Structure 1
Amino acid sequence: MEDYRDVPAGTRNATNVSPSYAAPETTSETEAAPRPALGRLDAIAVIVGIVVGAGIFRTPSLVAANTESGLMFIGVWLLGGLVSLIGALCYAELTTTFPNAGGDYHFLTRAFGRKPAFLFAWARMSVIQTGSIALLSFIIGDYLAQIFSIGELSSVLYAALVVIVLTGINIMGVSMGAGTQKLLTALEILGILIVIAAGLIFVPDAAVASPATPHTGTTSMGLAMVFVLLTFGGWNEAAYISAELRSGRKGMASVMILSIVIITAIYVLINLAYLNVLGMGGMASSDAVAGDLVRVVFGEGGLVLIGLIVALAALTSANATIFTGARTNYALGRDVPFFSFLGKWNEKTSSPVNAFLVQGAISLALVGLGYLTRNGFETIVEYTAPVFWFFLLLVGVSLFVLRRKEPDRPRPFSVPLYPITPFIFCLTSAYLLYSSLMYTGLGALVGVAVLFIGVLLLLALPGLNKRVSNK
């Protein structure tokens, strides 16, 4: 009998699954499954759109404050691109060998079994992905509130509206979601190019700062890398669209590598622009480096422009995060009866409608939590970081496990310099897990507590435990 774990989520039915894992009664909705509907440009737009978000307008000042010179400042961004490329190479092997809409969930299932995979899916649904959506929505809300205020609740209302509208767009179908993503990514890149041009081409000669001018205070190369790698975060979302790429398995590797190269080039150029106009000292003392840059070049009128660009960048990332996040919830619903309502794929729209709705509801709840703490952005960052890096580390380890468990499995792309490359990836993830616990506060504890609720679900629900523990 065929091992049900070798069948992509969403394509199994009662004839190819053992009786104890019989699928729900078939309907046109439950039998429908992800189909190859995305081109390479679509996939690149999703990855670039997720990674190149609002972080590049916030973290450079923190990186500058922890580096000693302009050369080191640019060097850590190049190093961040290299580390991300190493991770992308590891994911390229996993996604081309095991393409599946469940992404990391599918890799962890094959490597470690159902229990760790369930905990990941639970964490992604309740902490990682929904936290990222809430975080990005807060950024959009904050900037839109500055441009057009509708009262004291402007920021949270705008944030909630972003979640509702983007979720609705993606429910309308994969073509609508991917098309929206390409448009938003194009507009976002255009906005970033304006900032780059302002800092490297149009800036008055008298306004050019000395990049070598040092800033005062202590520096930390390690802490600088934490902020850089957080800014690069999100490229792993490609795993969730691997089963929907028209160019097939080999195309996924080129998509991931090309995306990282594009992202690194964008980051280096925009940081060169910051460095050229503000210098190291100016960046280190700035709370909004992009705003300070456009103020120097265009005057106070440029602040509205940068506000729109930052909001657009966050909107692009939020849409891509919503698009990929529902895929894990869908895979969880296909595998665990308790969450079976999530595992329904709408054939007409080619989207997991219920998974989108649940993800949107949890994201709205986290927006409310952020508002209640009066420190929404920082709270959600702390909430998501430790859980995210823990499971990214586990995915890195899964590459070693799957090489050992399934050595004869065809691998269209094999990570170069194995085992050195995946070891570096795991080491980096472990370091960021440590840093996210050491440098964050109450939010991190709440995120870990929510993950622990998933452990309690395994223990408290016999039917769930039976399903995820059986192989």
Structure 2
Amino acid sequence: MIVGIVIGAGIFRVPADVAAAVSADWQALALWTLGGLAALCGALTYAELATRHPSIGGEFHFLRLAWGPRLAALFVWARIAVMQTGAIATVAFVAGDYAAGLWPSGPHPALWAAAAIAAVTLANMASLEAGRRGQQLFVAVEVGALAAVLVAALWLMGTGAPAPQPPAGSTPAGTGLGLALVFIMLAYGGWNEAAYLSAETRDSSHGLVRALVLGLGGVTLLYVLINAAFLATLGRETLAATPAPATLLLEAAFGPLAAAAVATAVVIASLSTMNATVITGARAMCAAGRQVPLLAPLGTWDQARSVPRPALLLQGLVALALTAYGATAPDGFTAMVAFGAPVFWLFLALTAAALFRLRRTHPDAPGFRVPLYPVIPLIFLAVCLAMLWSSLDYAKFMLTSSEAGRHAGVLGIALLALGVPLVWRAR
């Protein structure tokens, strides 16, 4: 179950960005392993917060308990303006890149991305059940696409076929190991949801730790194998230069029909990830809207369709606006990562720090306690701060470029800053 939650569409795109950022294959594989360990530390930290301070509000509730209502309200603002909507746009660009590979002379990838956002949002506005029903099928498609990548890699290595060449005009644009880990943690992005689910379904601390270790350990092993397959068959330079490595690998191994099939599977996988993000984001916004007066309109729930329609609508419109901005950049995916990463890691660091404060203010709260405290939460907090620094450094690096979309990181920070006076002036 944890494997199905954590695996997302990012694994079909992020290996290219990681390859562009490193100088040796072993660095990439080591960073993917390190990312899995960091995700495990984060999941164990969140599991304590979720069991000792349970609430549907998640991070909003933890931040409110630890740091007060204003910071919690600022988190909700950031989630609407930057984090959740940026995540939706990021995954939409993965779908757009692979869809564009299916129809090279068709619409720009950003148009496919916008269509995906609109379709998923409208489906969920019709009924949350319509959005939920396809999730199990989507996960099966994701795993099938990853299996196809491994089979294709083994086939190419067995036949000794030459490595495919990167698409014409593609150029890698990496900036170092810190940025590589920012992208890697994006691919592990479902670890916090895995922590919530495990905390709800495991009766004992031993069972909870075992479920998280085995689940995230399995995902880490799979991700390392997938990256080893890409590096062994495409080579680091070719991998770094293509936004759709799975398509390139399958075409080299089995021809254009296989490439089209895996591209279709990745588009479906992207819709799966986007659908889950849309559902969880809208529900969290609705819950926060009932507690934060400034956001009260988002707390409306359509009883007839059993959906938070205002939250879904606002979330979809903001995600579409971000997609339009990303379309101006040479690579919409990396622009959206630069846009959301600084704000995302800031609040993740504050959530990690909340564990230490809540241990002092609520010492008798029952529930799971992180093993090896304070080592594991300190490791997670250190990772969050390192990722915050790397994402800020990347935003600074982008400003030195003359390309469109270079202000993506600054835009995300500016939107967060815009929420500060709104939240502090509100009751």
Instruction: Please give the range of the TM-score, normalised by the shorter of the 2 chains.
Output: 0.7 to 0.9
1:333 to 280, 289, 299: 289
Aligned residue in 1 for 2:167 = none
Q: Which amino acid aligns with 1:185?
A: V
Q: Does 1:392 align with 2:348?
A: yes
Distance 1:238 1:320 in 2: 13
Q: Does 1:108 align with 2:63?
A: yes
Q: C-alpha displacement at 1:396, in angstroms?
A: 0.3
Aligned residue in 1 for 2:28 = 73
Aligned residue in 2 for 1:437 = 392
Q: Which amino acid aligns with 1:78?
A: T
Tell me the alpha carbon deviations over residues 128-179 of structure 1, each in whole angstroms, 9 at most, x when there is no partner: 0001111222222333234247855x53443222222212333344543332
Instruction: Name the TM-score, length of structure 2 as normaliser.
Output: 0.84
Q: Does 1:167 align with 2:121?
A: yes
2:73 to 107, 111, 118: 118
**Cα distance 1:382–1:220, how it changes in 2: closer, same or farther (>3 A)?**
closer
- 2:283, 2:308 within 8 Å by CA — same for their partners in 1? yes
Distance 1:113 1:168 in 2: 35
**Cα distance 1:100–1:170, how it changes in 2: closer, same or farther (>3 A)?**
farther
Tell me the alpha carbon deviations over residues 256-310 of structure 1, each in whole angstroms, 9 at most, x when there is no partner: 5554233213212212222332344554565543233223211344432332233
Q: Does 1:428 align with 2:383?
A: yes
Aligned residue in 2 for 1:184 = 138
Aligned residue in 2 for 1:382 = 338
1:197 to 143, 151, 159: 151
Distance 1:159 1:445 in 2: 23
Tell me the alpha carbon deviations over residues 101-135 of structure 1, each in whole angstroms, 9 at most, x when there is no partner: 21111110111110110111100011000011112
Listed as ranges, the matches of 1:70-469 within 5 Å are: 70-148=25-103, 152=107, 154-201=108-155, 203-207=157-161, 220-238=176-194, 256-280=212-236, 282-284=238-240, 288-346=244-302, 350-372=306-328, 375-411=331-367, 413-440=368-395, 441=398, 442-460=407-425, 464=426, 466=427
Distance 1:148 1:311 in 2: 13
Tell me the alpha carbon deviations over residues 48-99 of structure 1, each in whole angstroms, 9 at most, x when there is no partner: 2xx421x323332443455555444323222211111111110111112222
Moved more, 94-103 or 168-177: 168-177
**Cα distance 1:269–1:126, how it changes in 2: closer, same or farther (>3 A)?**
same
Identity over aligned pairs, percent: 41
Distance 1:58 1:198 in 2: 17
Q: Which amino acid aligns with 1:447?
A: G
- Structure 1 gaps of 5+ residues are 1-40, 210-216, 467-471
Distance 1:366 1:193 in 2: 32
Moved more, 65-74 or 108-117: 65-74
**Cα distance 1:72–1:134, how it changes in 2: closer, same or farther (>3 A)?**
closer
Aligned residue in 2 for 1:33 = none
Distance 2:239 2:356 in 1: 41
- 2:33, 2:220 within 8 Å by CA — same for their partners in 1? yes
Distance 1:285 1:188 in 2: 23
- 1:99, 1:249 within 8 Å by CA — same for their partners in 2? no
**Cα distance 1:285–1:329, how it changes in 2: closer, same or farther (>3 A)?**
closer
Q: Which amino acid aligns with 1:365?
A: A
Distance 1:167 1:255 in 2: 32
Distance 2:422 2:175 in 1: 44
Distance 1:358 1:219 in 2: 34
Moved more, 342-351 or 188-197: 342-351
- 2:127, 2:306 within 8 Å by CA — same for their partners in 1? yes
Question: Alignment RMSD, CA only?
Answer: 3.1
Moved more, 388-397 or 128-137: 128-137
Q: Which amino acid aligns with 1:364?
A: L
Q: C-alpha displacement at 1:354, in angstroms?
A: 2.5
Instruction: Name the TM-score, length of structure 1 as normaliser.
Output: 0.77
Distance 1:342 1:273 in 2: 45
Question: Which secondary structure state, in structure 1, belongs to the residue aligned with residue 372 of structure 2?
Answer: coil
**Cα distance 1:114–1:257, how it changes in 2: closer, same or farther (>3 A)?**
farther
- 1:385, 1:436 within 8 Å by CA — same for their partners in 2? yes
Distance 1:346 1:255 in 2: 36
Q: C-alpha displacement at 1:315, in angstroms?
A: 1.6
Moved more, 367-376 or 217-226: 217-226
- 1:57, 1:289 within 8 Å by CA — same for their partners in 2? yes
**Cα distance 1:372–1:198, how it changes in 2: closer, same or farther (>3 A)?**
closer
- 2:149, 2:229 within 8 Å by CA — same for their partners in 1? yes
Aligned residue in 1 for 2:402 = none
- 1:167, 1:360 within 8 Å by CA — same for their partners in 2? yes
Q: Which amino acid aligns with 2:34?
A: L
Q: C-alpha displacement at 1:319, in angstroms?
A: 1.0
Q: C-alpha displacement at 1:195, in angstroms?
A: 0.8
Moved more, 281-290 or 107-116: 281-290
